[in-house]
Amino acid sequence: MPEQLLKGGNGRLGSTARFRIEDESQKGVGALLSAYGELDLHVAPELQDLIASVADEGVKLIVLDLSEVTFIDSMAFGVLLRAVTRLRRIGGDVRLVVPSPELRRIFEITLLDQFFSLDSTREEAYARAVPSD
């Protein structure tokens, strides 16, 4: 399946037939990334690259909106775990917007809800975020 890169937001938007992620960040607020489709082993490297790119810019808060995600696998969880670990080391955080009860249940069954900061809305994620410098 060929990968198609599109421009949007800050010029970062990745897309494949089953997945896309948009950078909707606004200056001074932290990074806001929205994922659509399936987060699996085929797109995990793209997700990792985008998160690393944002973190390399010095962002201490990444809000990843998973409202439109239909599936997530262990490779994607690994990417998210590494991102959380990286940002928490520098006093930051990754907050996941997970309004879907089905997707939230996956976090609960795997006990990953105890590690990730899960929120139901973007507004909730920003309200509960660790204050940045």
Burial of 99: CB neighbours in 10 Å, binned 0-12, 13-18, 19+ = middle
Range of the domain at 15: 4-127
Please give the angle made by the CA atoms of 35, 54 and 81, to the nearest 5 degrees. Answer: 65
Q: Are strands 61-72 and 93-97 parallel, antiparallel or unpaired?
A: parallel
pTM of the entire structure?
0.80
* Predicted local distance difference test score (pLDDT) of residue 121: 96
CATH of the domain at 67: 3.30.750.24
Choice among 2-11, 69-78, 82-91, 109-118 with the minimum mean pLDDT: 2-11
On whether residue 132 sits in a domain, the answer given is: no
Q: Summarize the confidence of residues 122-129 as an average pLDDT.
A: 91
Q: Check: CB of residue 35 under 8 Å from CB of residue 21.
A: yes
- What does the mean pLDDT of the chain come to? 82
Burial 24-44 (b: 16+ CB within 10 A, else e): bbeeeebbbbbbbbbbbebbb
* Predicted local distance difference test score (pLDDT) of residue 30: 83
Q: What is the pLDDT of residues 41-55, one digit of tens each?
A: 999 999 999 999 999
Please tell me the distance from the alpha carbon of residue 125 to that of residue 2, in angstroms, as a whole number: 33
* Count of domains observed in the chain: 1
Q: Check: CB of residue 78 under 8 Å from CB of residue 40.
A: no
Q: Summarize the confidence of residues 108-115 as an average pLDDT.
A: 94
Q: Check: CB of residue 67 under 8 Å from CB of residue 32.
A: no
Q: What is the pLDDT of residues 50-85, one digit of tens each?
A: 999 999 988 999 999 999 999 999 999 999 999 999
Q: What is the pLDDT of residues 13-29, one digit of tens each?
A: 444 445 667 766 666 66
